[in-house]
Amino acid sequence: MKTKSLFVVLLIFLLIVVCSPAVEVTKAELDTLVVPDDYGSIQEAINNAVDGDTVYVKKGTYHENIVVNKSLSLIGENLDTTIIDGAAAPIVYGDPSEEYRRPITIQCDNVSISGFKLLYGYAGITIGEVNFCRIYGNRIADNQHGIILVGTSYSNITGNYFESIGLSSAIQLSKSNDNFVSGNYIDSCTEGIQIWSSSYNNTVSENTITNCDDPAIRLQYSSNNTVTRNNISNSGVGTCIYVSNNNTITNNNYVNNTVQFSATETYALTFGYNVSVNLINQNYWNDYNGTDINNDGTGDTPYVIDENNQDSNPIMVPIDIKIIPEFPSWTFLVAGIFAVTALETLCRRGFTQRR
């Protein structure tokens, strides 16, 4: 008898937990704003969101210049078919010049952007004076700049694809520290990754950068950063250093660049700057013509860059760097939305039948 009573109590408790919180189910739905189902534009959805919400954007082309000024997740259904076209969009800043056509501008901490194709703007994504943002799994093409970070820290730029960035770099860090740039694929851009006036703890790793006109990676007035395990190929300059110190450049593959590495600073010296001093070690250089007599995988002689710079331990075989794109978690989000909706429907039917 006691066992039967306990079973009944547990059953009632489970029913209360599953079906009673209709308010909680509704809250979960309200926390995910769907475009265009709930709101006709992405900006309208953001304006009606609160911190912590998710704005989910279904596939289609959206002619907008979006400002994200709340801590939220902005997720596109598919990075090839969820398109934000900045060229034909109204100018949110009131200035019709090309410089202000920016598909996405982030003005708040803790913002996540994934699953979009961003086209025809001055910059695909601009992040200014904020922290803890995450940009992953996007395709950015035919913009003047790719992603620009200005005064931004503790942010991740991972698993994005860039092509045909026409004016400057695919990824630019300006006066930004403690950021992580990894797993991006950059092809046919004017410049790959630029670190400018950013002198603390930025890491650039496991990116593939190819067919860039100017440097694949540029360090300018920037110190104390790490560049490691990148594939750098077929570009005008593999890596360029200018008035930058204490950077670690190691375990990268340099293949078929017109100039593999440039550290020429004659112009800087005329203004009283010292020659940059950096750790350049254990990289692969496809034009290295030294030997490895003891077969330890390291060249017997340094790879000489110029009179002030060399790789003392060039490696003989390219590093196997497998770049795995970071796909957005929108599939799990959609499954969750459908699951919650189905559960709510079942609960409501149960209440209706009882009545």
**Cα separation values, 122 from 15, 99, 103, 222, Å:** 54, 5, 8, 24
**Cα separation values, 28 from 53, 171, 309, Å:** 9, 35, 57
Strand partners, 34: 56
The pLDDT score that the predictor gives to residue 329 is 44
Give pLDDT tens digits for 258-281. 999 998 777 667 666 777 889 999
Cα 217 to Cα 206: distance, rounded to the nearest angstrom: 13
C-alpha gyration radius of the chain: 25
Whether residue 133 contacts residue 111, with contact meaning beta carbons closer than 8 Å, is answered with: yes
Sign of the alpha-carbon dihedral angle for 338, 344, 347, 349: negative
The pLDDT score that the predictor gives to residue 323 is 66
Give CA 198 to chain center in angstroms.
17
The pLDDT score that the predictor gives to residue 274 is 76
- φ/ψ region of 347 (left if φ > 0, alpha if ψ in -120 to 50, else beta) reads alpha
The pLDDT score that the predictor gives to residue 325 is 54
Q: What angle do CA 121, 126, 132 make, to 5 degrees?
A: 150
The pLDDT score that the predictor gives to residue 26 is 41
From first to last of the 355 residues of the chain, give the pLDDT tens digit: 444 454 444 444 444 444 444 433 344 455 999 999 999 999 999 999 999 999 999 999 999 999 999 999 999 999 999 999 988 655 544 444 555 578 999 999 999 999 999 998 889 999 999 999 999 999 999 999 999 999 999 999 999 999 999 888 999 999 999 999 999 999 999 999 999 999 999 999 999 999 999 999 999 999 999 999 999 999 999 999 999 999 999 999 999 999 999 987 776 676 667 778 899 999 999 999 999 999 999 999 999 999 889 999 999 999 998 765 554 444 444 444 333 333 333 433 443 444 4
Polymer length in residues for the chain: 355
Whether residue 192 contacts residue 240, with contact meaning beta carbons closer than 8 Å, is answered with: no
Phi, psi of 116 (to 5 degrees): -120, 155
| Other CB atoms within 10 A of residue 166 CB | 13
Q: Using the 8-state DSSP alphabet, how is residue 24 labeled? A: H
Whether residue 114 contacts residue 148, with contact meaning beta carbons closer than 8 Å, is answered with: no
Cα 209 to Cα 187: distance, rounded to the nearest angstrom: 6
The pLDDT score that the predictor gives to residue 343 is 37
**Residue 152 in tokens:** 């931004």
Q: Which residue has the tokens 């989000």?
A: 333
Q: Using the 8-state DSSP alphabet, how is residue 342 labeled? A: H
**Residue 273 in tokens:** 């700057």
Reported in sequence order, the residue ranges of 206-344 that DSSP labels E, i.e. its strands, are: 208-210, 215-220, 226-228, 231-233, 237-242, 248-250, 253-255, 259-262, 279-281, 284-285, 303-306, 309-311
The DSSP secondary structure of 154-181, one letter per residue, reads: S-EEES-EEE---SSEEEEEES-BS-EE
What's the pTM value of the predicted model, to 2 decimals?
0.81
Domains and CATH numbers, the chain: 33-354 (2.160.20)
Phi, psi of 189 (to 5 degrees): -115, 160
